[in-house]
Each structure stands twice: as structure tokens, then as C-alpha cells.
Amino acid sequence: MKTILVIGNGMVGYKFCEKLMAKSESDNYKVIVFGEEPRPAYDRVHLSEYFADQNAERLSMAPRSWYEENNIELITNERVTDVHRASKTITTINDKEYIYDYLVLATGSSAFVPPIPGVEKEGVFVYRTIEDLDATMAYVAKIKSQKPDGKAAILGGGLLGLEAGKAIIDMGLETSVVEFAPRLMPRQLDNEASQVLQNKLEALGIDILLNKGTQNIEGDKAITGMKFSENETLPVDMLLVSAGIRPRDELAKTCGLEVGTRGGILVTNNMKTSDDSIYAIGECALLNQMIYGLVAPGYDMAGVAVDNILGDEALMPSAIDMSTKLKLSGIDVASFGDALNEAKESESIVYENKFQGIYKKINVSKDGKKLLGGILVGDASDYNMLHQIFLNGMAIPENPEDLILGARGGEEASFGSALDLPDSAVVCSCEAVTKGQICCSVTEDGNEDLASVVAATKATTGCGGCKPMVTDLVTETLKSMGKVVKDVICDHFQYSRQELYSILKVKKVTSFDEALDACGEGKGCELCQPAVSSILASLYNHTPNKEDVSQDSNDKFLANIQRNGTYSVVPRIAGGEVTPEQLIVLGQIGKKYNLYTKITGGARIDFFGAELNDLPAIWTELIAEGFESGHAYGKSLRTVKSCVGSTWCRYGMDESITFAIELENRYKGLRSPHKIKGGVSGCIRECAEARGKDFGIIAVEGGWNLYVCGNGGATPRHAELLAEQIDNETVVKYLDRFLIYYIETAAPLMRTAAWLDKLEGGIEQLKKVVVEDSLGINAELEAQMDLLVDAYECEWKQVVESDTMKDRFSHFVNSDDRDDNIAFVPMRDQKMPELWK
């Protein structure tokens, strides 16, 4: 029996053991693993999640019992101090000696701390281990107990630094990220993408300081500030260093193994060091003059080392994919291939939506036939498919821009489904799981849900970036087999939105925590929290002023944030009807607060450029004059547009203004899976464009024609006829039923048009339900609408009448100061945000 010693029990060291056990009987080798930390291997990729719940067990790769079951001796909290190559032994800090046949160095890396004078002071931490995080949280608590307006800084604008920044600000400290480079994530993002990411992070309250070289850490015993060049100082009470990594190669150096000039243990493509009995894997290994800091290459190295130790030749590929997808502080960020066009072999196609904070760039070969790389910020939903097209050299559309824009004419993006990938396509790079293995797990091994496929293949268990594609593959494979696929909210709620709506309604649940207790598990996530909040708002018409029913970031401040950090103010003008007196008031308010003013396509007046501090004051004046929230920020009814109808128009066949006002006042504040709009036209000339809305009413001989499920957002479509020649009362009755039926059965963030497309039987089935009461539920639908109408309250009125609620409308958590970074430039006789540079 040969002995294998593994020095290092991080993710890669653990993966070596797992792969060895999968390929060899446990009694063929004696395996001893040494770890410096006091606990078994844990998931460092998701280390930031520890800030939320301090649950180390949830991050564990495997319990101690797993090592015991596989006859692996795990020695934790003990550092190996020496390797004696001549005698093939190692010595630990406790002077214990162990002999080996093969030695695997999986020592990983340590946090790089720049040699800044004063960096050893109290209050300076690194961001690497669970113990580091425990120490950081304890110090934050100390600061807050002594100084409620405490400030922290993160040194480093890379992946971990930005995650740490969000974690610290969530703990209640004003937080700055200090980056030496001229942009965030300089290795993954170009200037434009980095700026989009910076804007989104600043909107979360994180201050971004670029081009800053820290010269000194100020303070006596504890840090009080960071001094930059030109005597600029940033006062801080704590510093978290996340400035990169350094390979742990000290054992290799002391025993005479070859190392790189800038660190790292030199290895060949079979992961052998300069000693044939010693292998190095993970972040301590220098392969092709590169240190690979991602988990997927580390896992591949572990597999190659296992194969060679077992006598099977295996080599790391000459080119290693460094593509990555992650969510930084809730913001999608992804890059793949030659993202920065460093090879100068491609042409770039860029889409940027500054209003929504979305940036997409793909690099296409000069002949337009191959995808060579790309960057996605703000919306990375297409990443997995784009990545696979790049990896597998798949054909791209004749118009490559379709890959990020979708095909023109309203169709979906034209690069196919996950099932179109070759079976050899590696979907989960962390675990090297192919599309064929995932599909076979379903078709041949009988795993008919995502959890079973994950357990069988280990796909998604690494970084988790492949989960959307694995989910699609499982779903599409089941559908191809004629199986019914259940679409669940997320891992925390194993129900569809429709099922969850019914459960929460029957159990009379009124908060997210109650929902978790009643039918969920865990702490929740960014998918289920807004979904459950939307359901609760739709059930009870609670406003977003109740913290646990906020559906998205705009709900917090009851306004849409604009691209320069200011907000919109949109009072409701039902049906577009406004008195001269009200117009005068609106003009006075716009002038007083220097707001950009615009009449919108929804027949109301929008104000732009309001600073956060001014929102309560503006709304106090508006409400005093009888205005209400226009809900321009919510997933709710926006407007019911109207023409002037028979009130004024010589062609008008009915009073469209009156009816539009009635409908808008009935459904105002109605929370739904997606925003909804209505229209009422007084004749078939359609001046209100009613058939382009989620519901539209057109006056005809004998009454009104009612159309539903138009709009469609990015894929425009006309509404379809639900009923014709009906009176006002019947229109309201059918609309009540239709809207509640949609709210109860649609998926999260699904527009009415997409909902109708997925409704089995389409418009004919909807007619049966709404008009004919084929399901026998119309009385219940009408009663639910009546409940919501009666429960309506203007959420801005709630704010202006509550000093406590007003407190959240402050740009700084610890000061009433205004944001002096907001800048405008003239535009015609008004203003606009200063253009981004």
C-alpha cells in the first residue's frame, strides 16, 4: 500500500481526495491530509455568504465523517513545516514525521498585503478565511458600539473586494472601495463595462475611489485613515485588504523545488514538480507561467494529478478557459474568451442601456463567423449559451448582433436552446460535466429533477455559474420525453409561483419570514424574496413601506433611480385629465426644485432630477394638492391612457376619458408579476393605442370591445379580443377576473403577453375562464379584486405623514448632507445629467 500525503485541505485539496476515491479503492492507498485551518475544507467561492448567517456548516465541502468513511486521515489545525525529499518525509509544527510515496502540494494562496507603512495596525484585516471574517465582523461591532457613523474601506476593486464592500455596507458602515487601477476588475472588464458596474455599486451606497495609491496607514495603534499621494487622506476606522493573492510556495522553496521568479511552484502539464514524487495543484502551482485563481482549473489539476499517480497519463490543456460569471452585490458580471480583444483578432459589437445599467459586448472574428469573447454587466442571462458557443466553435447568426440583442422583428434570440449543444460540450467546468452526461442522467439513469441530477453528476456544485444551463437541460430533456416539468421559484421554495400564491393565501401568510416558516427553507435569496413580496403585495395590497414587501430596489425610495443617481417623481394623472389649477401647481413644483419636466406617452407629467433628500418635500406639496403616487417605479398598474372620446371628439362613440379615469382609479396600486398598462379609445381610430396595452377598451356600436395581453415589452404585440359589445359594468367585471387570474397564475416578472402565450389553449381558454366561468372561480376572483381596491393606500402619503419613514430618504446614512457629485448640463431650456466620460 502506497502513502499519499496531501498538504492543504482547501477546495482543490478536497477535490483531489474526492477524485482519488472515485477512481481507486480506498484500501489501495493510505491517504493523509493536512490542513492549517481548524475545520475541514469549505467553499471559498461563496465565502461572502458567511457574512449573512455565519453558518460555516453550509459552506462545508464534506463533513469529517466523509474522510473517515473513505479511510482518509484528516489532520486539521496543524501546519507542515518541512519537506525532506531525500527521505520522502514531512515534518509538522508539532515535530511529527510522516513518510510518503507521493506528496501533493495543495497549499493554495495567501492574501497579498501590500507593503504599506502602518498596515500592521489594529483594524486592518484580510479577506481569506472564515476566521478572517469572524474577526472582521467582531471589529465592525466594536466600531458601531463606539462610533455609529463609522467608516470602512476595502483595498482592492477585484472580485472579492467588491463582494466585501457590499457585505460591510450591509453591516452599517459607510464603505469605500480603493483601487490602484483606473477601473474596477481591470482583468475582466473594459472601461465601459467597468463604468456601468461602478455606477450600479455607487447606487448601492459604495463609494468607488480609482487611481489611488495608498502611501500610508494613519493612526497610532489603530487605523484612523488612509493617506494617498498628494496628501489626500480618507478617514476610516477599518480597512479590509483584498488586493490579490500570493501562492503558498514556501515549502517548495525550503526543500529545493523549482519555483517561478515571481512565486509559484513550477509544474509541467501533468502537474509534476521538479521532483517526480511531488505534485502541485491549485493556486500554489505555476503552470505555463500562470497562477490560476479560479476553481475550475484547480479541479482539473486535481484530476490530472490523480490520473498520473494512478498510472494513467493525463495532461492539462495548453489553453485554459478563464471565463467567469458571478453576481457581485446582486449585480450580474461575466466575461469569457478574449474579452478585452487582447489578440486584436476580432471586431466588437456593443449594446449599452445606461438607464437600466446594462452593458453587453461580444468580440466576433473579422470574417463574422466565430464568437471569440465577450463581457456582460447588469444582465448575464445569455452568458451560459454564449460561453458554449465560444467554447465549441458553434456557428453564429448571420447578424452576430442577434446574440446580444435578439433577432429583430420581435423574435427571441436566435442561437437556439441548450439541447442544440454537442454532447461533448462541458457545461459545468468546475466538475467537468458534459451536456451528454447531464442528459443521460435524465434519460438513462432516471433522475427527473434538478436536485437528483446535481447529486448524480455534481454539476453546479462548484461556482454555481452553470446552474441556469443545467436547469434548462434537465427541463428540456424531460419535456422531450413527454414529462411534465414543474417550474419552481428557487431552491428555498419548491413551488411554482401559482402554487406558492395559493399556499400563502390559504395560510394567510403576511411576511417573508412567515412564508419561509410555512412552506420554505433556508434564508431565502434574490429570486424568492422579490417573488414572495410580489405575491404578498398582490394578496393584501401592502405598500412597499412595509419593508418585507419591497419587490425591487426602486421600491425602497418609491421612485425610479436615474443614471446620475437622481430620482423621478411621477404623480398619478388618471386618464390624463388634469385641471388648470393642478397644472399650475405642477409647474410651480418643477420650477421650485429645478426638475426636468416631460409629458410622457402615458398621458402624465414626469419630473426628473430630484435628489433623494428632496423626495419627501416634493411629495408633501403634491399630496397637499390632491396628487397621489403614479407607481412609475413598481410592478403594478402604471396608467390607463385615453383619447378625448365623445366628450369632445366628433367621431367619439363613448366617454373614453370618464371610463379611463374610473378604471385607473379602480386598479391603481395593483401589484402584479410585471407592470401593466391600459388604454381606452373612444372609437376604432384608436387614438389611445388601446390594443398596444395589457388591457384595452375600444368603443364600438353596441358597447365596448375588450382586448387583453398586448404590449409585450421588448417583443411588442397587439392585444387579443376577449369580449365584444359589452357595457361598462361587464368590462369592469371581466377585467377584475382577468387581472386577478393573471396575478395568481403568472410566473415572476412575466408580462401578460408572455403569460397568454404560455397559457394552454391561449385566448380561447382565457375566454372560457373569464367569460364563461369554466373553472367556477369568477366569484372568488371578483372578491379578491374588491379586497385589493378597498385596501388601497397611497404609499407616498404614508411617507409624508410619518417622520420615521422619512428618515430613509437621506443620501448618507450618518449625515443630512447632499450628494455633491451630482452634475447636470443645460438642454434646451431645461437640464439633463452630465454625460458619462
Mean pLDDT of 764-791: 95
Residue 822 CA to its chain's centroid (Å): 26
Residues 6+ apart with CB under 8 A from 742: 672, 673, 752, 755
Residues shown for the chain: 837
Give residue-wise pLDDT tens across range 91-101: 999 999 999 99
Scored b (16 or more CB within 10 A) or e, 540-558 reads bbbbbbbebbbbeebbbbb
Average pLDDT of the chain? 89
Lowest mean pLDDT among 3-12, 44-53, 495-504, 617-626: 44-53
Pairing of strands 596-599, 567-569: unpaired
pLDDT bracket for residue 238 (50, 70, 90): very high
Residue whose grid cell is 496628501:
231
Question: And the C-alpha cell for 401?
Answer: 448582433
Separation of alpha carbons 762 and 574, rounded Å: 31
Residue whose grid cell is 452634475:
823
Residues 6+ apart with CB under 8 A from 66: none
Rounded to whole angstroms, the maximal C-alpha distance in the chain is 104
Mean pLDDT of 158-167: 83
Give residue-wise pLDDT tens across range 22-71: 888 767 899 999 999 999 999 888 888 787 778 888 889 999 999 999 99
Give residue-wise pLDDT tens across range 247-297: 999 999 999 999 999 999 999 999 999 999 999 999 999 999 999 988 889
pLDDT bracket for residue 527 (50, 70, 90): confident
pLDDT bracket for residue 467 (50, 70, 90): confident
pTM of the model: 0.64
Q: Do 662 and 645 contact (CB within 8 A), yes or no?
A: no
What is the dihedral angle through the alpha carbons of 357, 363, 366, 368, rounded to the nearest 10 degrees?
A: -80
pLDDT bracket for residue 72 (50, 70, 90): very high
Mean pLDDT of 553-566: 77
| In 5-148, alpha helices (H) | 11-23, 50-53, 56-59, 64-69, 130-146
Residues 6+ apart with CB under 8 A from 258: 252, 265, 266, 273, 274
CA triplet 25, 30, 34: central angle to 5 degrees? 120
Mean pLDDT of 190-197: 92
| In 566-715, alpha helices (H) | 580-592, 615-624, 645-648, 656-667
Specify whether the backbone of 688 is left (phi greater than 0), alpha (psi in -120 to 50) or beta: alpha
Separation of alpha carbons 44 and 130, rounded Å: 9
Pick the most confident of 111-115, 452-456, 702-706.
702-706
Model pLDDT, residue 26? 64
Model pLDDT, residue 139? 94
Give residue-wise pLDDT tens across range 376-406: 998 888 888 899 999 888 888 888 888 888 6
Separation of alpha carbons 105 and 305, rounded Å: 11
Separation of alpha carbons 171 and 240, rounded Å: 14
Mean pLDDT of 4-28: 90
Q: Which helix (H) or strand (E) holds 167?
A: helix 159-170
Pairing of strands 278-280, 102-105: parallel
Residue whose grid cell is 435628489:
611
What are the beta bridge partners of residue 720? 708
Residue whose grid cell is 452553470:
466
Model pLDDT, residue 836? 60
Separation of alpha carbons 460 and 475, rounded Å: 15
Looking at the chain, the whole-number percentage of residues with pLDDT higher than 90 is: 57
Give residue-wise pLDDT tens across range 742-754: 999 998 889 999 8
Separation of alpha carbons 279 and 268, rounded Å: 9
Domains of the chain, with CATH numbers?
2-111+247-309 (3.50.50.60), 124-243 (3.50.50.60), 321-416 (3.30.390.30), 420-483 (1.10.10.1100), 557-791 (3.30.413.10)
* Own/partner pairs, 360-367, CB within 8 angstroms, 24+ separation: 360/404, 361/190, 361/192, 361/193, 361/404, 362/386, 362/400, 362/403, 362/404, 363/337, 363/338, 363/339, 364/396, 364/400
Model pLDDT, residue 410? 39
Mean pLDDT of 214-225: 94
**Looking at the predicted structure, is the pLDDT value of residue 462 above 80?**
no
Scored b (16 or more CB within 10 A) or e, 624-661 reads eeebbbbbbbbbbbbbbbbbbbbeeeeebbbbbbbbbb
Residues 6+ apart with CB under 8 A from 117: 215, 216, 217
Residue whose grid cell is 423621478:
568
Separation of alpha carbons 71 and 672, rounded Å: 55
Residues 6+ apart with CB under 8 A from 362: 348, 349, 371, 373, 374, 386, 400, 403, 404
Separation of alpha carbons 413 and 422, rounded Å: 19
Of 314, 328, 313, the C-alpha closest to 432 is: 314
Question: And the C-alpha cell for 527?
Answer: 429570486
Give residue-wise pLDDT tens across range 796-834: 999 999 888 888 888 776 667 777 778 888 888 888 888
